[in-house]
A and B are shown apart, each in its own frame.
Chain A
């Protein structure tokens, strides 16, 4: 196959059942921020759920962005490594700079309804080959052509190819 440059997106879902400490911090702190930021969009205190706000209040979609601002400190703790996604050697290997926070559901009165997604977008990768169920990739660099180190990994739920272009 002809080589292509791709980016990978991992959409990490966090809800109240997550047990990992990092996940719990992100969950609690984003919920606290949700409760603070919604007050601007809910000045008569008519709504409690995120979906009600989205339907009834102009501009409430900005809450994705506004709430996401609270948890950047945790994203920095990852030190540019995308969590959870492992290569076939069992190691995390994807790196990211771009990221997007998303509120899936929430309710100011119930933290158990607070469910969010962290979308991580990998740095550009070269897709060399598809071997069985696995993708053989390496980090894209401008210099190229020399021997490169590769990672073999299998696409898993909540991991997708986000963008693609032909390598000239």
Chain B
């Protein structure tokens, strides 16, 4: 049950005014205060509860698939600290997000009447905190592609206090036998695909420093590994 989760939350640290660490809470619940309503209506007459509990940001999860179908991909990202000879940076917050097999992101407009099922709306987005080896691991699907961009994963690294250290993107290796060739753009194919050397983000990366190592097969799934060094 989600409500029972109570984890030490790193994210807490970046709060300006942090209150309880919230493994438990007082009484009251979402439903029992008719907060906005000074008008003449009935008073609440219900058993108190369920008792709210403090939960980590919903992004904190290793499996970010949320029911999206595609070839399985495990992404192992290691964060190093440039200010410490690129040694492993523990306790860093790592956000990743990427598009689904069709090339769509989990985003909707900020305005209008649109609403979405809250259970799945933030698909293919996740957050992990690096371990002692600077490593985070995500389970996801191999990203699709969309017009104008090579296959990529967005990464945002924060320190443990939530201060932004780096925003970047991870590229994929190309050519015969690579994951990009095997997946073949999913149902779109690769006609019109933008390769790394024509991509407006990756084309200046002449040494391949932004390109991950990706191994695997369609049936077994793919393993992506990437080392990202930040100034912490």
Contact = CB atoms under 8 A, between A and B. Distances in A.
Residue of B15, B31, B121 with most chain A CB atoms under a 10 A cut-off: B31
B156 interface: yes
Interface stretch (B54-62, B138-146, B192-200, B206-214): B54-62
A84 B34 contact: yes
Interface string B29-40: 111111111110
Given A61-B109, A61-B110, A90-B45, A21 B156 contact: no
Interface in A89-115: 89-92, 97-100, 109-111
Given A21-B28, A24-B19, A73 B46 contact: no
A35 interface: yes
A24 B15 CA distance: 13
Given A69-B125, A157-B37, A35 B58 contact: no
Interface residues of B, number: 65
Contacts of A86: 34, 41-42, 44
A20 B28 contact: yes
Interface string B1-36: 011010000011011111100100111111111111
A65 B43 contact: no
* Closest 10 pairs (CB-CB, A-B): A61-B110, A90-B45, A73-B55, A39-B164, A72-B58, A22-B52, A83-B30, A98-B115, A70-B57, A64-B110
Contacts, number: 181
A31 to B, nearest CB: 7
Contacts of B22: 25
Contact of A33 (B35, B44, B57, B119): B57
Residue of B15, B30, B32, B44 with most chain A CB atoms under a 10 A cut-off: B30
Interface residues of A, number: 60
Given A61-B111, A100-B114, A111-B16, A25 B52 contact: yes
Residue of A31, A73, A79 with most chain B CB atoms under a 10 A cut-off: A73
A98 B116 contact: yes
B5 A156 contact: no
Given A62-B110, A73-B57, A76-B119, 9 more contacts: A22-B29, A22-B30, A36-B14, A40-B164, A76-B3, A83-B31, A91-B45, A100-B115, A109-B16
